[in-house]
Structure 1
Amino acid sequence: MALGLNVSEPEESCSDPNCPFHGTLSVRGQTMEGQVASTDMDKTVVVEREYDVKVPKYDRYMKRRSRVSAHHPDCLDLSVGDTVRIAETRPLSKTKSHVVVERVPTEGDD
């Protein structure tokens, strides 16, 4: 199934209806990359993004971070510290409007 994104389908399959690969969930809007900060919730991960904001008074940059709740499909194996790509979707709950579509390989992964 084509998502409209340049991501590969995971080898493992699942029966999650909210999986963009094996279920009926469609993705739309923006995609973001970030690190998994928490996997404590059931079928949800918290993805943290860090970015710089210019402070004009001091002519410097300061770091800010935002945390986004995203749906974690059963076919993806994620742990804290993994870099993931998330895509926007319809609202799945009060705080979830994104789904994890890919685990981005880092330089140390083989």
Structure 2
Amino acid sequence: MAIGLNVQEPEGTCSDDTCPFHGTLSVRGQVIEGAVASTAMEKTVVVEREYDVFVPKYDRYMKRRSRVPAHAPECFDIEEGDAVRIAETRPLSKTKSHVVVEIIDGGEA
């Protein structure tokens, strides 16, 4: 089933209603790539990405990072350190508004 993004459909199947491939969840808005920092919660992963911000006062760049909680459907086998692509959805909980749509790389990102 096509979800509107150019991503590979997962090999596994699931009965998760909040899966964009096997359920009824639609994706829209931004698509983010990052590394999985935590898998401690059930059905949730924390995706972390680093970026540089220019500081004019010192004429240098400063590293910043953002951590985005995302829903992890059962059809993906996600571990810490995996590089993943997440897409924005409707709010799934107080903090979750993204869902994992693709595992880019199984190693360190």
TM tier, shorter chain?
over 0.9
Residue 33 of structure 2 corresponds to residue 39 of structure 1 = no
Normalising by the residue count of structure 1, what TM-score does the alignment of the two structures yield? 0.95
Q: Conserved in 1, the CA contact under 8 Å of 2:82 and 2:107?
A: no
What is the percentage of aligned positions where both structures have the same residue? Answer: 76
Structure 2 runs not aligned, ≥5 long: none
Aligned length in residues:
108
Runs of 4+ with >6 A deviation: none
Distance 2:11 2:78 in 1: 14
Query: How much is the aligned-residue C-alpha RMSD, in angstroms?
Result: 1.3
Are 1:101 and 2:92 matched, yes or no?
no
TM-score when normalising by structure 2: 0.96
Counterpart in the other structure of 1:5: 5
**How far 1:105 sits from its partner (Å)?**
2.6
- Name the amino acid aligned to 1:2: A
Q: Is 2:90–2:97's contact at 8 Å kept on the other side of the alignment?
A: yes
- For 1:107 and 1:88, locate their aligned partners in 2 and report how far apart those are by CA, in whole Å: 24
CA distance in 2: counterparts of 1:65 and 1:43, whole angstroms: 23
